[in-house]
Amino acid sequence: MRIAVDARGINWYKGTGIGTYTENLLSQLLSMDSESYYHLYWSGYDYGRFNSENSKVIMTSRKHHRFFQQNYIPGNLIKEKIELYHVPQNGIGLVDSIKCKKVITIHDLIPYIMPETVGNGYLLKFLKEVPDIIQFSDAILTVSNWSKRDILKFFPIDEKKIFVTPLAADLKYKPLDREWSRYMIEKKLNIKKPFILYIGGFSPRKNVRSLIMAFSQIFNDLDKEYDLVITGSLRDEGSSLKELCDKLQMSQHIIFTGFVEEDMLPVLYSGAEVFVYPSFYEGFGLPPLEAMSCGTPVITSNVSSIPEVVGDAGILIDPYDTSNLIEALGSILNDEEKKRQLSAAGLERASQYSWKRTALDTLNAYKEIVETIN
């Protein structure tokens, strides 16, 4: 097959789910599929590792991205005899004038499900462009069966056009020595006590406010003193969460680390007593899978795609009921045997996911789309 991929999102969305997905998917496809040719549209730096015997990187300008999307790419796809063009970032940037098979990845429909949690600029762009893109695409990849159901709920398209290709945790997420991890966490972040961990952003959809409320209510009932560690750059909602901690008089026990380098995240997971992710909605939800890959017990939500990913390897709570979260925190933090059981179950569950599997599922979808979909 001759395949083209819009790889610009690797740099444009670096550090986000879309950037991580595009980067890992392409890396695995190039390593496993030597029979196909990959034509990659790129923007920015660090493209050398995607140059191989069966690939070619085409540099584009971010400043003039509309020209490339509307004029250069459609003509270039014809010139290069491309059979299938894949746009991983929810199809944004795909135009109808492209003549080969058009494939997009829809990661979630948060702008439809919870529009109040999405920035106005992205919300308007998504609602304006994505419905048309879905209609003229030949096929859709999505990251969970839950997201597939959401797509079918909002868009009257043939179910056979949608292929589920689950995500995976990066290979760097693996169990690290706990004592070494705690040493590095104390050295770099000055966190000295056992801690509960949250990683995942500060959108209201992530429900961090409930986690803070639950921790403040159970803090005095735990067998020993814990800190709550919350990572991420403090902007907008993050700042209001810090104010909430002040009002609850919990600021000395709730640590906002600010931005943390990606290589430090497996260390944080491995050093945590438990990872908590009480999100209201996820198309997939990578952080619980990353935590399980590190052997960290997980408490997370029983809604949207999360149970599909976590299965029975974590404690699932109702994110709309803070008492559920309080009970879950108490049950795991005061029970060492339960921690060990969840750690083992999480590692077993996480082993079922890999970027190699994601790439293989994607490659099989590509073949079916090229061969059978009209």
20 touches 55 (CB < 8 A): no
| Residue 92 three-state SS | coil
Which CATH architecture does the domain made up of 2-168+354-372 adopt?
3-Layer(aba) Sandwich (3.40)
Give the model's pLDDT for residue 232.
87
| Residue 86 three-state SS | strand
Residue with tokens 């894949």: 86
| Residue 275 three-state SS | strand
Q: pLDDT tens-digit profile of 251-282? A: 999 999 998 998 999 999 999 999 999 999 99
Residue 62 in tokens: 């971010």
Residue with tokens 């600010």: 258
Alpha carbons 4 and 102: distance in angstroms, whole number: 10
Q: Cα angle at 176 between 171 and 180, to 5 degrees?
A: 145
Residue 104 amino acid letter: I
Alpha carbons 341 and 352: distance in angstroms, whole number: 18
Residue 180 in tokens: 């070494």
Give the model's pLDDT for residue 62.
85
Q: Lowest mean pLDDT: which of 63-67, 201-205, 221-225, 287-291?
A: 63-67
Per-residue CA distances from 236 to 145, 151, 204, 284 (Å) = 32, 30, 10, 24
| Residue 164 three-state SS | strand
281 touches 205 (CB < 8 A): yes
Residue 47 amino acid letter: Y
The alpha carbon of residue 126 and the mean position of all alpha carbons in its chain are separated, in whole angstroms, by: 18
Alpha carbons 346 and 174: distance in angstroms, whole number: 11
Residue 126 in tokens: 């998504």
Look up the pTM and report it: 0.92
Of 6, 74, 84, 98, residue with least CA distance to 43:
6
199 touches 285 (CB < 8 A): no
Give the model's pLDDT for residue 245.
93
**Of all helices (H) and strands (E), which one includes residue 47?**
none
Query: Residues 118-130, buried b or exposed e (16+ Cβ, 10 A)?
Result: beeeebeebeeeb
Alpha carbons 237 and 344: distance in angstroms, whole number: 34
Average pLDDT over every residue of 283-309: 97
Is the model's pLDDT at 374 over the cut of 70? no
Q: pLDDT tens-digit profile of 345-368? A: 999 999 999 999 999 999 999 999
Q: pLDDT tens-digit profile of 7-41? A: 999 999 887 889 999 999 999 999 999 999 999 99
Is the model's pLDDT at 286 over the cut of 90? yes
Give the model's pLDDT for residue 119.
87
Task: Delimit the CATH 3.40.50.2000 region(s) of the chain.
Answer: 2-168+354-372, 178-350
42 touches 122 (CB < 8 A): no
Give the model's pLDDT for residue 236.
65
Residue with tokens 């920035």: 119
Alpha carbons 47 and 58: distance in angstroms, whole number: 10
Is the model's pLDDT at 107 over the cut of 90? yes
Is the model's pLDDT at 191 over the cut of 70? yes
The helix, strand and coil proportions of the chain, stated in percent and rounded to the nearest 5, come to 50, 15, 35
Is the model's pLDDT at 250 over the cut of 70? yes
The DSSP output letter for 8 is T
Give me the CATH topology for the region 178-350.
Answer: Rossmann fold (3.40.50)
Q: Which residues pair with 106 in a beta bridge?
A: 142
Q: Lowest mean pLDDT: which of 15-19, 185-189, 233-237, 305-309?
A: 233-237
